[in-house]
Structure 1
Amino acid sequence: MKESIFHRLYDLYHQDVFQFLIYMVKNRSVAEDLSHEVYVKVLKSYERFQGRSSEKTWLFAIAKNVAIDYFRKNAVRSSHAFDAFNWETDNLVSPMKSPEILTELNDEMRELLEALEKCTGDQKMVIIMRYFQELSIAETAAILNWTEGKVKTTQHRAINKLREILTDTTEAKEANRG
C-alpha cells in the first residue's frame, strides 16, 4: 500500500521536484542526492500526511526544507563556524561557481539564475516556485507556510531586485562594448 503511494507520488512529481532542486543548488548530482533525500522523507512520513494541503504542496514543502538544510550545512562548512544561517535574509549562493546546468541554458536564463543568487533565500524560493515551477500563489503560500500576501510581497520585491540587477548587468555590458 505505502509503496504504491510512493510510486504514484514519485511518478507524478519527481521531475518537478528535481527541477526545483537543480534551480536551487545548480548542480545535477547534488540535486539528485537531495531529490533522493526528499523521497526518503516522503516514505518515512507519509502516514503523518493529513491532507490539509495537496500532496504536491506537501512534497514541495519537504523539498524546500531539504534545500534549506543543504544550504545551512554548506554555510557552516564553508565558514568553519556555527554562525546562524538566516534563511530569510542570507543569499543562497551555491558552492558551485560555474555549474554544469548553466551551460545548457540560453544567455538570458543564465543571467537570470546568476541574478537570483543575489536575492535573499525567500526571494529566490518564491521566484523559482512561481515562475520556474509555475505554482500558484496559494500553492506557494502553502509550501512556505506563509500568507498569500507575504508571497505576493516577496515576489514583488524579488522582481524589483532582479530588474535592478539585470538592468545594471545590461548597462555594464553596453559600457564595456562602447
Structure 2
Amino acid sequence: MTRVEHGFGPLWDEDSRVLLLGSVPSPRSREAGFYYMNPHNRFWPVMEGLFKEHIGPDPAGRAAFLHRHRIALWDVIASCDIEGARDASISNAVPNDLTPILRSATITHVFTTGAMATRLYRQLIEPGLPEDGPSIPVTRLPSTSPANAAMRLADLQDAYRPILRAIGLTADEGRKGH
C-alpha cells in the first residue's frame, strides 16, 4: 500500500451544471496532473462519442471541452492508501471538500464514475452535506477504467447519456457537438 495525495484540484467554474466524481486519480493521472490520463481509460473516448466532438490528448483542450459543456470534474478522495490504481484496495480515505463547487456553481446533478466512487461519496461526502442545502440527485455511472473492460465503448456512451439531459441537451444535440 502506498499513501497517495490527489495532487491537483477540481476542474469547474460558476457555469458548471453537473459534477462528475471519480474515486482517486490513477498513477498516470497524478503524474500528468490531470484527469483520466491513462491511455487505456475510456473516459475521454466516452465523452467524444457522447458529444460527437474530437477532444484530443491535451489537458488544456480537455479542460476547455468540460467548461464549454458545463461539466465539473473532480474526485471523491483527497488522499488514501492504495495499491497502484486498484480501487478495491483503497483504505484510509480522506474526502475532498465539495463545498466550494456546490456553493459557487449551480450543480443540478452529481454523477459518480464507478462503484467505489459511489460508495465513498455516500459514505464520506453525503453525511457532511448541509441538511438545509439543496437536494442534488446522484447517479452512479459505470467505470471507464480498463478494469471494466467487459463493457463495450458504445455501452459506456449509452450509460453516460444522462449527462446530456442534466446539462439540458437532448441526445441529438449531444451528437451535434452543441
Could you tell me the TM-score, scaled by structure 1's length? 0.30
Could you tell me the TM-score, scaled by structure 2's length? 0.30
Bigger proportion of residues as helix? 1
Higher RCO by CA contacts (8 Å cutoff, separation 6 or greater):
2
